[in-house]
Chain A
Amino acid sequence: MTNSNEFKLMSHLIRRAGFSSTKEDIEKRLKIGYEETVEELLNPVHKNDTIDDYLLRRYNPDQGTSHDSTGAGSYWLYRLVSTNTPLQEKIGLFWHNIFATGYSKVTNGKSLTDQIAMFRKHGTGRLDDLLLELSKDPAMILWLDNMDNHKEAINENYGRELLELFSMGVGNYTEDDIKECARAFTGWTIANAEYTKQLAVRNSIWPYGKIAWRYEYDITDHDADKKKFLGHDGDFNGEDIINIICEQPSTARFISRHLYHFFVADEPPVPSWPYVEPQDMEAIKILEKSYFDSNHNIEAMLRTLFNSDFFKSEKVYYKKIKSPTELVVQILKITEEFDGPNFELSSRNNQITYMGQQLLNPPSVEGWHQGLEWIETGSITERVNFCVQQMSDLSNPGILKIINFILNSDIQNISTSDIIDKILNEIGGLDISQNTRESLEDFINNIDLSKSSLADESTIANVFGVIGSVPEFQRC
């Protein structure tokens, strides 16, 4: 069953639209069908109602309040692992890397948690609506200094990044457009801006912990005069600017390329996009068409993408390096360590940081460079060590469950290759090369069977751990 093309395709879909899954889950989805699964992922029935925030708050008040980056990151990790609406969380990760907003400057975990919740809510809707919410997002306003963008003295920071990094990309607008864009967003600020900024600068927890932030429109500080933006004239406010941006072909190209990069195959880092053509221009054009046909709807673009031949092609299977978050979430789903709030949650979140991706604290407004940059020398060691340690740990209920399943089969009469296949199947049908298979078989054949047996839990656990170290496991 797991060798069938249908299984491999469904496994590919779940790896990309979610965080990998078990054989059992993939087989369930196969009974529903591929296109129906795509629809279920886009419009889940459950709406995340299985996640009990109150239970988390009881045991981990810092996570329940998103007190700092660790608390907020751990809270998100809990959702990523526990969710029954994986695409909703995945789209949060997608936008988090594009609209990258960091704790290093914001220093208010709840405002970042609120931003991710906004991505969950608006991330698959119209781009116009999403950019409007983004422009009102308190964390973004502070991150890009829009509370310092005044009628009498503009601050271009948000206006520049809105055009360069959030919608159109470099080369598709002028410096004057940036200034006019900034003018349109004057007065888009946060309540108690002076105090909030001071608290953020000092990372203040005084007197009574952190106060949540809220958007405020200060009409007295808004420049209502005429503006000229991308060839259009008018007394534009922020909403008008966003509408103009979303009509641009360059925006369709930029968003399409990001979707391809995140869900289909790794592209070069974003800063090189003005100079490097997409690797699959035909796919990008299909996505651009979907963007305009759907009136800028991200859900429609995702539907097009997941049902396309370019996504279903075996050529793009395992063509992406898992981000640290994707890797850790997959491991935690396999190990089933978190059937509820857990003392170890923050240390698991720290593992993501050690691998080079601190959730809610990207290195800059450009987000993280993805692809091969995830597996530099230092981070690959962290990744492999974590995978091996977790997947060979018999105290993890998910590992024990799979091992018992294997031991309950005719263990005395199965080959080393069968043991490998059974583990690979149970973790969602990981495809490995012949070289990797031979290495794994060598590992098993070198086990000293005078001290242990192939039918031992610990022996199988060691094989499980080594599978966590193979190159294919680092990809999705």
Chain B
Amino acid sequence: MITKNITTKFMNYSHTLGLCTMEGRGFMFPVDTAFSNDGRMHTISRAYPAVSRNLRVTMYDTEGDFFGVYGGFGEDLGQFRWPTAITTHQNGDIYVSDEKNNRITIYGIDGTPKKSWGITGSNPGELNGPAGICFNKNNELIISDHKNNRIQKFTSDGDFISLFGNETNQNINLNLPWGITISSNDYIYVADWGNHQIAKFSNDGNLLQRFGNLGTTNGDFKNPSSVAVDKNEYIYVADWGNERVQIFDPNGTWIETLRGEATLSKWGEEFMLANQEEALPRSKSNLEPDISQFKGDPYEESAHIEKLFWGPVSVKLDKDDTLYVTESNRHRIQVYKK
């Protein structure tokens, strides 16, 4: 039985969304999720170049109703090659970063592509691997320009505003930053992937705090990929390399670790109902083997035990502070509520 690191005091598991599918309803290596103004969810499937039709954004809701897909592999308007993050503008538009095409693409709320912008390079306003993205209160787009080890700020139309990072202040010392978010107090939080830390900045780019170190105990990180902050300034971190999500109080003090508790999603249940030749042997299988045989290697634990997070790449909070954990390697979203 799995007992290690599973607590439900602060956040409680609610349900799971999604299904691994090559196209259409479901996900293939999803990497991020956003909520649109019409209450729908938009999840990016990064997939892989070998089967390029898998790349898409899937529209659905938290009840599991499916509304279609958009995007696709390529370099034309509306397409992407390495889509990485997704966020929503106050006006309803959807923004997707693409770290291979080095650009941001804007879609209407229904997924109709409108525009893309981005110039490859390392000069101010140029991009080299735009990863995490989010909007601040002024509807300015903040981009984790990860291979340039900096954070850049643009207007929603792509006009450069400002930047901060290693080139402006060596003490900032970002190392392939990934996920990024803005708190209600307008602080910028960055998942500093290569440094195994969360970095907190003021809106104008002053480094205020760093917390976490490389490790596996509570409060440590291994390549964190995403960070979210709730209304009360509690911090949620996708501790990607440790295959877990950690929660911290506003001071950065650890309070809880989630390791994953997935159950069958609505789409998964429908699949099993229609495919009894898989459902029957599955029902007789032990899907929760003794975790100790994997010698504390979280990657192997998660590869073998389906309910655990595997590749928890993104954490997002909705308006009610419900937590959505996107897992790239399990092609699903686990939902947690207070």
**Is the beta-carbon distance between A207 and B284 smaller than 8 angstroms?**
no
Partner pick for B29 among A62, A204, A206, CB 8 A cutoff? A62
Determine the residue in chain A with the shortest Cβ distance to B49.
A346
Q: Mark A53-92, 1 if CB is under 8 A from B, else 0.
A: 0100111111111011011000000000000000000000
Interface range for A: 35 or more
A192 to B286 CA separation, bound complex (whole angstroms): 7
Answer whether residue B304 sits at the interface, using C-beta atoms and an 8 A cutoff. Answer: yes
**Is the beta-carbon distance between B48 and A207 smaller than 8 angstroms?**
no
**Is the beta-carbon distance between A65 and B278 smaller than 8 angstroms?**
no
A194 to chain B, nearest CB (A): 4
Q: Mark B236-266, 1 if CB is under 8 A from A, else 0.
A: 0000010000000000000000000010110
**Is the beta-carbon distance between B281 and A212 smaller than 8 angstroms?**
no
A157 to B49 CA separation, bound complex (whole angstroms): 37
- Which residues does chain A contribute within 8 Å of B225, judged by CB atoms? 58
A446 to B175 CA separation, bound complex (whole angstroms): 51
**Is the beta-carbon distance between A192 and B19 smaller than 8 angstroms?**
no
Q: A60-B48, A212-B304 are in contact. Are A207 and B268 (CB under 8 A)?
A: yes
A208 to B332 CA separation, bound complex (whole angstroms): 7
A29 to B275 CA separation, bound complex (whole angstroms): 59
Q: List CB contacts (< 8 Å) of A139-192 with chain B.
A: 191-192
**Is the beta-carbon distance between B20 and A206 smaller than 8 angstroms?**
yes
**Is the beta-carbon distance between A195 and B285 smaller than 8 angstroms?**
yes
- Which residues does chain B contribute within 8 Å of A202, judged by CB atoms? 277-278
Q: A62-B48, A208-B268 are in contact. Are A192 and B285 (CB under 8 A)?
A: yes
Q: A204-B278, A343-B100 are in contact. Are A54 and B303 (CB under 8 A)?
A: no
B215 to chain A, nearest CB (A): 14
Q: Mark B278-302, 1 if CB is under 8 A from A, else 0.
A: 1001101111010001000000100
* Segment at the A interface, from B33-41, B108-116, B166-174, B323-331: B323-331
- Which residues does chain A contribute within 8 Å of B330, judged by CB atoms? 208-209
- Which residues does chain A contribute within 8 Å of B285, judged by CB atoms? 192, 194-195
Q: A206-B19, A208-B20, A208-B331 are in contact. Are A214 and B282 (CB under 8 A)?
A: no
**Is the beta-carbon distance between B282 and A195 smaller than 8 angstroms?**
yes
**Is the beta-carbon distance between A110 and B303 smaller than 8 angstroms?**
yes
Answer whether residue B306 sits at the interface, using C-beta atoms and an 8 A cutoff. Answer: yes
**Is the beta-carbon distance between A214 and B304 smaller than 8 angstroms?**
yes
**Is the beta-carbon distance between B49 and A54 smaller than 8 angstroms?**
no
**Is the beta-carbon distance between B277 and A346 smaller than 8 angstroms?**
no
A58 to B29 CA separation, bound complex (whole angstroms): 11
Answer whether residue A415 sits at the interface, using C-beta atoms and an 8 A cutoff. Answer: no
Partner pick for B262 among A58, A204, A205, A208, CB 8 A cutoff? A208
A71 to B329 CA separation, bound complex (whole angstroms): 13
B49 to chain A, nearest CB (A): 5
A68 to B50 CA separation, bound complex (whole angstroms): 10
Partner pick for B48 among A110, A199, A209, A346, CB 8 A cutoff? A346
Answer whether residue A279 sits at the interface, using C-beta atoms and an 8 A cutoff. Answer: no
Determine the residue in chain A with the shortest Cβ distance to B329.
A65
**Is the beta-carbon distance between A343 and B223 smaller than 8 angstroms?**
no
Answer whether residue B77 sits at the interface, using C-beta atoms and an 8 A cutoff. Answer: no
A64 to B265 CA separation, bound complex (whole angstroms): 25
A199 to B282 CA separation, bound complex (whole angstroms): 10
A65 to chain B, nearest CB (A): 5
**Is the beta-carbon distance between B241 and A54 smaller than 8 angstroms?**
yes
- Interface centre among A54, A58, A205, by most B CB within 10 Å? A58
**Is the beta-carbon distance between A346 and B281 smaller than 8 angstroms?**
no
- Which residues does chain A contribute within 8 Å of B211, judged by CB atoms? none
Answer whether residue A198 sits at the interface, using C-beta atoms and an 8 A cutoff. Answer: yes
A361 to chain B, nearest CB (A): 14
Answer whether residue A347 sits at the interface, using C-beta atoms and an 8 A cutoff. Answer: yes
Q: A58-B223, A191-B289, A208-B20 are in contact. Are A70 and B48 (CB under 8 A)?
A: yes
A278 to chain B, nearest CB (A): 41
- Which residues does chain A contribute within 8 Å of B265, judged by CB atoms? 207
A60 to B193 CA separation, bound complex (whole angstroms): 16
- Which residues does chain A contribute within 8 Å of B11, judged by CB atoms? none
Answer whether residue B42 sits at the interface, using C-beta atoms and an 8 A cutoff. Answer: no
B172 to chain A, nearest CB (A): 21
A195 to chain B, nearest CB (A): 4
A347 to B332 CA separation, bound complex (whole angstroms): 27
- A-binding residues in B (CB < 8 A): 18-22, 29, 31, 46-50, 81-82, 100, 178, 193, 222-223, 225, 241, 262, 264-265, 267-268, 271-272, 275, 277-278, 281-282, 284-287, 289, 293, 300, 303-304, 306, 310-311, 328-332
- B-binding residues in A (CB < 8 A): 54, 57-65, 67-68, 70-71, 110, 191-192, 194-195, 198-199, 202, 204-209, 211-212, 214, 343, 346-347, 350
- Chosen A-B contacts, 21 in total, with CB atoms closer than 8 Å, are A54-B222, A58-B178, A61-B46, A61-B48, A61-B328, A62-B50, A65-B310, A65-B311, A70-B48, A192-B287, A194-B284, A195-B284, A198-B277, A202-B278, A205-B331, A206-B21, A207-B268, A207-B272, A208-B331, A211-B306, A343-B49
